[in-house]
Chains A and B, each alone.
Chain A
């Protein structure tokens, strides 16, 4: 595991594959520059490690290496993309020819690529990246989590504790003569508890991580808290009653329920859907799309966060984009292609799952700014409704704006008091409308623990969300209790 000795991306690719930024620029210059509107070469080397402990024993220990290069050429709205998993100058030349042949099938638009410049951030330089941390320490922590989770509640019969660690080294050369690299550590610890009582079984999950060291999990009692949360959720749900069905007032807790923003408005504000006018938010810039209490931001520059990046996967430094300010739609998230075609600026949101995929506009860390309300008071203001604090996944239909997100821990609220826990239920709403119904915003903004993965068009990327406690006056809760 010494093959990842800290080095700059440029020297990594030149030492290992004899590919220098000069060679990349030559491939671009010889094949693409001046012949297409924009082009880039992306090199990636990724090591991924997965450790899974089940029933107190290591069920899975695996290590995966993937590497490759993607060459992209763009003319007008066309993209040619070719990739290879053998990084060599011969293959780069070949990929560049293929990508260009693709983009060449029409005249260029005459709109030249925006120059990308700007200093990359330094958001996650780590003393010891998690991928190099000794396996024995990781396995030992997983064993302690297993024991701790069982100790929290005797009804916990099964524990699955896992840790994934990753390191991605990337280097991108763009047609504007800008070559930039990044080394991205990422780790995640997950705990799943299955509790049983009198024939009823339930599942609870919790976890966290980010672009942090292994020691992050040991700090502030984090791993114990993850273990306790997983056990608590599983045990709590054993007593859950049927969730209500129908439209009602919903209070969302702080942190991970920010997935609401990701689904309800985030995807709809990605540049590609707005350029193509296929988003329910298309053409609504400057209009009111949320209550004036609502300001939503996408920020890829928060140190050590799962969704943060020093530069995006097109080499643009990430930024802080105000999507909604006091209820008014103010910004889209852009990659280079869509920014160019919409005559806007790239916002550092061009991301890709790996070298095998062309970039698209994607979110980074998306959250709502805190308001002035006391979270307790927000709950007290509800006569009858639902208080949802933990969610599973969500999904959105960009075009009609309908989105769902599934509560995995939620309670009834009766006369301002939080009462019975309810079974999981999906919440469904309409993106352009849901945030207009936000009537209270708490002062307790919290970012999630660092577990989110977003899927779009078959590509997964790590993201973050955040939310203060908020009250929504009317959203449909998909329970079974009529």
Chain B
């Protein structure tokens, strides 16, 4: 029935003179409960829907979207988009994928939880237990930014004027806790979370709360360091942010704009041999999985980097045509049109334990938090605020804050001389612990 609405919108676009069109419809409902200092703080409840439409007038295109699905509103959206397409310029690479490339059978990736919904009280209780576990784990946990439980049910439908029309449903659930540890006037906040497509796969709220508390506590007594050049070990969370930066530089629009440090590097060595990065859309019940991309193309497993060699870019139909390549079926879809989006993006694990990686460092930094936006995707120049633990003679010695870590992403990738065995698919982009041979840590 979701696709019926899309099909009628596409028909109207054709009547208005569109030579081709596609539409995307998202309907979702969301519930969020947050608790702070054991009291309910905010409960949120919402239902939303959004239809986005892309129309082509020959090789010219335009996009429009609306959250108002009344007939008048949809007619207005179609009329505006077709009018807009007629005034924009022709672009020889614009257009839908070839109909023959569209997926025929939509795989069932088990993305929706079929179990009964919990009552609001039960949801609140999950958040309350998670926060209580953090507050009770140590007397130095004195305050909290709160804990949250959330769930989301969504249905995505996609249709094209070629006749493609499919939809699929997903659910997602999350728990997060952000406790504050304090001692002698110093305050440190940290957080931990768990998210999953199936509620039963969420980590125990008590465990999430305790981990969050332990992360905040280990930051107490943080020092600033002297500026040095040392080995740097990134924990899985911060290592994942490096993987996201690589994906950004490997995405089609960055490449055809010549705004990427990975330009002209396909098939060449861009990282140490220990580095293999894979994007896999078909892992059952995983957070990033999807049965087809935002243009109706079959998703699969893409090896982005194999043993240090850049094997593939991340492309949609348009950027692939611009670059004279094939789409890698990474079109994402949001309210404003088509963009590149990864699915389950993973830096594959090595054989070393994270403890061994830390033990291999005589004097260096173990990074557990990065802040700021200091990554230049054009040059790969990298400079971000960091916090973590100082490593002395292979042991975590004391917490460190107010420092930066800096280098160049290509040099950093080449200098990865240790990859941990601790990969856990707990988010859409994940990595194990990694060690970079040398980086500049700036402090006093």
Chain A residues with CB under 8 A of B81: 63
Chain A residues with CB under 8 A of B376: 203, 423-424
Interface range on chain A (Cβ under 8 Å from partner): 35 or more
B45 CB–A CB distance under 8 Å: yes
Chain A residues with CB under 8 A of B265: none
A439 CB–B CB distance under 8 Å: no
Given A404-B371, A425-B406: A194 and B84 interface contact (C-beta under 8 Å):
no
A202 → chain B, closest Cβ, in Å?
A: 6
Given A276-B143, A424-B374: A479 and B442 interface contact (C-beta under 8 Å):
yes
Contact of A478 among B50, B124, B385 (CB under 8 A): B385
- Which of A243-251, A287-295, A299-307, A441-449 forms contacts with chain B? A243-251
Given A245-B442, A278-B143, A424-B381: A54 and B257 interface contact (C-beta under 8 Å):
yes
Instruction: Give complex CA distance A102, B40 in Å.
Output: 9
Chain A residues with CB under 8 A of B257: 54, 158, 160, 194
Which residues A133-160 have CB closer than 8 A to chain B? 135-136, 139, 157-158, 160
- CB atoms of A423 and B36 under 8 A apart: no
- Which of B1-9, B72-80, B163-171, B342-350 forms contacts with chain A? B72-80
Interface string of A78-110 (1 = CB under 8 A from B): 111111111000000000001001100110000
Chain A residues with CB under 8 A of B263: 201
Contact of B187 among A58, A86, A106, A399 (CB under 8 A): A399
Contact of A356 among B46, B88, B143, B444 (CB under 8 A): B46
Chain B residues with CB under 8 A of A403: 385
- CB atoms of A203 and B229 under 8 A apart: no
Which residues B49-69 have CB closer than 8 A to chain A? 49-50, 52, 60-68
- CB atoms of A402 and B387 under 8 A apart: yes
A15 CB–B CB distance under 8 Å: no
Instruction: Give complex CA distance A400, B216 in Å.
Output: 11
Interface string of B417-444 (1 = CB under 8 A from A): 0000000000000000000000010111
- CB atoms of A393 and B372 under 8 A apart: yes
Q: Which residue of A lies closest to B220 (CB)?
A: A400
A44 → chain B, closest Cβ, in Å?
A: 10
- CB atoms of A64 and B403 under 8 A apart: no
B101 CB–A CB distance under 8 Å: no
Chain B residues with CB under 8 A of A77: 36, 39, 41
- CB atoms of B444 and A247 under 8 A apart: yes
Given A392-B374, A424-B383: A478 and B404 interface contact (C-beta under 8 Å):
yes
Instruction: Give complex CA distance A65, B47 in Å.
Output: 17
A416 CB–B CB distance under 8 Å: no
Given A102-B43, A480-B440: A400 and B189 interface contact (C-beta under 8 Å):
yes
- CB atoms of A395 and B143 under 8 A apart: no
Interface contacts beyond A194-B259, A245-B227: sample of 8 additional A-B pairs, CB < 8 Å, sorted by A: A63-B62, A63-B77, A64-B65, A68-B67, A101-B120, A158-B257, A201-B378, A480-B408
Instruction: Give complex CA distance A59, B39 in Å.
Output: 49
- CB atoms of B383 and A479 under 8 A apart: yes
Q: Which residue of B lies closest to A102 (CB)?
A: B43
- CB atoms of A61 and B336 under 8 A apart: no
- CB atoms of B186 and A400 under 8 A apart: yes
Measured CB to CB, the residues of A under 8 A from B are: 1, 3, 50, 54, 57-68, 76-86, 98, 101-102, 105-106, 135-136, 139, 157-158, 160, 194, 196, 200-203, 243, 245-247, 276-278, 280, 356, 358, 392-400, 402-406, 423-426, 428-430, 476-480, 482
Chain A residues with CB under 8 A of B91: 57-59
Interface range on chain B (Cβ under 8 Å from partner): 35 or more
Interface of B: prevailing SS: strand
B379 CB–A CB distance under 8 Å: yes
B401 CB–A CB distance under 8 Å: yes
Instruction: Give complex CA distance A394, B408 in Å.
Output: 20
Which 8 A-B residue pairings sit nearest by Cβ, starting from the closest? A478-B404, A404-B372, A404-B385, A399-B189, A426-B374, A62-B63, A245-B442, A102-B43
* 9 pairs of residues in contact across A and B, judged by CB atoms under 8 Å: A65-B73, A80-B43, A139-B88, A158-B258, A393-B372, A404-B384, A426-B372, A428-B402, A476-B444
- CB atoms of A400 and B87 under 8 A apart: no
Instruction: Give complex CA distance A58, B68 in Å.
Output: 27
- CB atoms of A58 and B89 under 8 A apart: yes
B222 CB–A CB distance under 8 Å: yes
B48 CB–A CB distance under 8 Å: yes
Given A136-B87, A246-B444: A358 and B42 interface contact (C-beta under 8 Å):
yes
Q: Which residue of B lies closest to A46 (CB)?
A: B67
- CB atoms of A196 and B258 under 8 A apart: yes
- CB atoms of A139 and B87 under 8 A apart: yes
A212 → chain B, closest Cβ, in Å?
A: 23
Measured CB to CB, the residues of B under 8 A from A are: 36, 39-50, 52, 60-68, 73, 76-77, 80-81, 84-85, 87-91, 120, 124, 143-145, 180, 186-189, 219, 222, 224, 227-229, 257-259, 263, 335-337, 371-374, 376, 378-379, 381, 383-385, 387, 401-408, 440, 442-444
A249 → chain B, closest Cβ, in Å?
A: 13
- CB atoms of B46 and A405 under 8 A apart: no
- CB atoms of B381 and A65 under 8 A apart: no
B25 → chain A, closest Cβ, in Å?
A: 13
Chain A residues with CB under 8 A of B39: 76-78, 106
Q: Which residue of B lies closest to A272 (CB)?
A: B145
Chain B residues with CB under 8 A of A58: 60, 88-89, 91
- CB atoms of B41 and A428 under 8 A apart: no
Chain B residues with CB under 8 A of A478: 374, 383-385, 403-406, 442
Q: Which residue of A lies closest to B64 (CB)?
A: A63
- CB atoms of B76 and A3 under 8 A apart: yes
- CB atoms of B335 and A482 under 8 A apart: no
B143 → chain A, closest Cβ, in Å?
A: 6
A397 → chain B, closest Cβ, in Å?
A: 7
Chain A residues with CB under 8 A of B381: 423-424
- CB atoms of A78 and B42 under 8 A apart: yes
- CB atoms of A400 and B383 under 8 A apart: no
A272 → chain B, closest Cβ, in Å?
A: 10
Contact of B258 among A82, A85, A201 (CB under 8 A): A201
Q: Which residue of B lies closest to A400 (CB)?
A: B188
Chain B residues with CB under 8 A of A83: 44-46
- CB atoms of A65 and B77 under 8 A apart: yes
Given A136-B87, A277-B143: A429 and B42 interface contact (C-beta under 8 Å):
no
Chain B residues with CB under 8 A of A358: 42, 44
> Which of A394, A396, A424, A480 has the most CB atoms of chain B within a 10 A radius of its CB?
A480
Given A83-B46, A399-B187, A480-B440: A135 and B65 interface contact (C-beta under 8 Å):
no
> Which of A67, A68, A402, A429 has the most CB atoms of chain B within a 10 A radius of its CB?
A402
Q: Which residue of B lies closest to A280 (CB)?
A: B187
Chain A residues with CB under 8 A of B402: 402, 428-430, 476
Given A78-B41, A202-B379, A395-B373: A278 and B66 interface contact (C-beta under 8 Å):
no
A276 → chain B, closest Cβ, in Å?
A: 7
Contact of A64 among B41, B66, B90, B444 (CB under 8 A): B66
> Which of B84, B257, B408, B442 has the most CB atoms of chain A within a 10 A radius of its CB?
B442
- CB atoms of B227 and A482 under 8 A apart: yes
Chain B residues with CB under 8 A of A394: 372-373
Instruction: Give complex CA distance A202, B378 in Å.
Output: 6
Instruction: Give complex CA distance A98, B62 in Å.
Output: 38
Q: Which residue of B lies closest to A477 (CB)?
A: B442
Instruction: Give complex CA distance A389, B443 in Å.
Output: 22
